[in-house]
Amino acid sequence: MSAPLFITRDETLLDELLRLAAAAGITPDVAHDAGAALRGWTAASLVLLGGDLAEELARLSPTRRAGVHVVAWGAVPDDLFRSALAVGAENVAELPRSDGWLTEALTDLGDSTQARGLVLGVMGGSGGAGATTFACALGQLAARSGPTVVVDADPLGPGVDRVLGLESQDGVRWDALCQTTGRLSARSLREALPRRGALGALTWYAGTPGSLQAFAVREVLSGARRGHDTVVVDLPRSADPLVDEVVSRCDLLLVMVVPTVAGIASAARLCARLGDRTGVRLVLRGNGIPAPEVARVTGVPVVAEMGDQRGLAESIDLGLGPVRSPRGPLGRAALAVLTRAAVLGAAA
């Protein structure tokens, strides 16, 4: 990705912008006049235009582009907004008050994983279907090929960090993120989570009553998608507006089904509640009613089937996560889903 462009003659403003860039791990290009600014205008990944040169540049009518922000040191005069509008700026930022926002924007530029990651939701079609276990299995296998995070959106679940063996790892949990406001940097989120190698997890501290705040969920999903190749969300079965919103943000929603009469009846009711089922697929756990019949009753295709995995509880208790070998039933089913998700991502 090309470097951001800072445009200013104001040494105080430039020193502050360079300080923020250093904190974000970014090396910018700097232009001290409007002519130099025009030469790098279209190629820059981000343009920060100093208020001291905004009017001069506006007279040159630069090409309209996204990612232009006018920045000023101290109070912003009214005529600066007219110049910002003339150059097509998205906003006017006042320093030092906007330091945090600018640092996050620059940090995201330095993230090497700017591509939009896939979001996979996992929900139990009935109680005890193994949604959390399968979400963690997806996370383990996806992490073999790139940065992955498992997001625990089920306050009453066992906790994805415990299933993955990450409960003793330091890092932020929902408890802290639900107390913050503002834009969440992709790299900051990735580095702050409890993780092992390329796999991170976001959940609650053990024993604390969990609850989700809509603003925090939106920022986490946005930051996680920008900073990871794969985002797996463990979802509750409850009918809740926030859960429905998260479902709408998933590229693929996987409903875990136990293929018994009771399990299929429960899954059919849940699938009917989802409305648009274009991006919904079933994963069958255990033996029983054949997959074609399950698909017919629920109106949703089956993407993978798996038998019970021997030694699953022991593997989790040892802190190894649910997948000890990709050749086991759980590993094969998770790989089948990830292959399907990759096809969807390529088609998007």
Confidence of residue 63 (pLDDT cuts 50, 70, 90): very high
132 and 60 share one domain: no
94-97-103 Cα angle (round to 5): 90
Rg, C-alpha atoms of the chain:
24
Structure tokens at 48: 């920060």
Q: Looking at the structure, tell me whether residues 103 and 142 fall in a common domain.
A: no
Question: In angstroms, rounded to a whole number, what is the distance separating the alpha carbons of residues 183 and 168?
Answer: 28
pLDDT of residue 171: 92
Given a cut of 60, whether residue 115 has pLDDT beyond it is no
User: Are residues 235 and 323 located together in one domain of the fold?
Assistant: yes
Strand partners, 232: 120, 150
Give dist(CA 122, CA 133) in Å, integer: 10
Q: What is the CATH number of the domain that holds 316?
A: 3.40.50.300
What is the secondary structure of 175-206 as a DSSP string? HHHTT--SPPPHHHHHHHS-EETTEEEE---T
Q: Give the strand pairing for 280-285 and 252-257.
A: parallel
Range of 37's domain?
5-109
List, for residues 67-92, the tens digit of each pLDDT value: 899 999 888 888 999 999 999 999 99
Among 109, 138, 173, which residue terminates a domain?
109
Of 115, 120, 113, 116, which is closest to residue 338 (Cα–Cα)? 120
- Ranking 135-144, 164-173, 201-210 by mean pLDDT, the lowest is 201-210
Q: Cα–chain-centroid distance for residue 55?
A: 38
CA-angle at 169, arms to 165 and 170, nearest 5° = 155
The CATH number of residue 36's host domain is 3.40.50.2300
Which pTM was predicted?
0.72
Does residue 273 surpass a pLDDT of 80?
A: yes
What percentage of the chain reaches a pLDDT higher than 70? 95
Looking at every residue in the chain, the average pLDDT score rounds to: 89
The pLDDT value recorded for residue 37 is 94
Nearest CA among 254, 174, 155 for reference residue 219: 174
Q: Which of residues 109, 141, 164 is at a domain's end?
A: 109
Task: Give pLDDT, residue 113.
Answer: 44
Q: Note whether 207 and 321 are same-domain residues.
A: yes
Residues 44, 156 within the same domain: no
For residues 74 and 195, which has the higher predicted lDDT (pLDDT)?
A: 195
Position 193 scores a pLDDT of 94
pLDDT tens profile 298-339: 999 999 999 988 899 999 999 999 998 889 999 999 999 999
Q: Are residues 299 and 322 in the same domain?
A: yes
pLDDT the model gives residue 61: 92
Q: Residue 256 belongs to what H/E stretch?
A: strand 252-257
Q: What pLDDT sits at residue 123?
A: 97
Using the predicted structure, report yes or no on whether residue 114 has a pLDDT greater than 70. no
CA-CA distance, 313 to 281, in Å (whole number)? 26
Q: DSSP H helical segments within 207-256, as ranges?
A: 214-227, 241-248
pLDDT of residue 260: 95
- Same domain as 137, residue 102: no
Number of domains in the chain: 2
Distance, in Å, from the CA atom of 203 to the CA atom of 184, rounded to the nearest integer, reads 17
Looking at the structure, tell me whether residues 37 and 183 fall in a common domain: no
- Whether the Cβ atoms of residue 164 and residue 201 lie closer than 8 Å to each other: yes
In which band, very low, low, confident or very high, does the pLDDT at 210 lie, cut at 50, 70 and 90?
confident
- Residue 344: Cβ within 10 Å count: 15
Assess whether 185 and 52 both reside in one domain.
Answer: no
Give the pLDDT score at 182. Answer: 58
| Whether 321 and 184 share a structural domain | yes
Tokens 């110049």 label which residue? 83
Q: Are residues 91 and 125 in the same domain?
A: no
Do β-strands 199-202 and 195-196 pair in parallel, antiparallel, or remain unpaired? antiparallel
Over 50: is that where the pLDDT of 348 sits? no
Regarding whether 292 and 149 lie in a shared domain, the answer is yes
109, 127, 155 - which closes a domain: 109
Residue 201, φ and ψ in degrees, nearest 5: -145, 140
Which pLDDT score, from 0 to 100, does residue 238 have?
A: 85
**Residues contacting residue 69 through CB under 8 Å, at least 6 positions apart:** 46, 47, 48, 49, 89, 90, 91, 92, 93, 102, 105
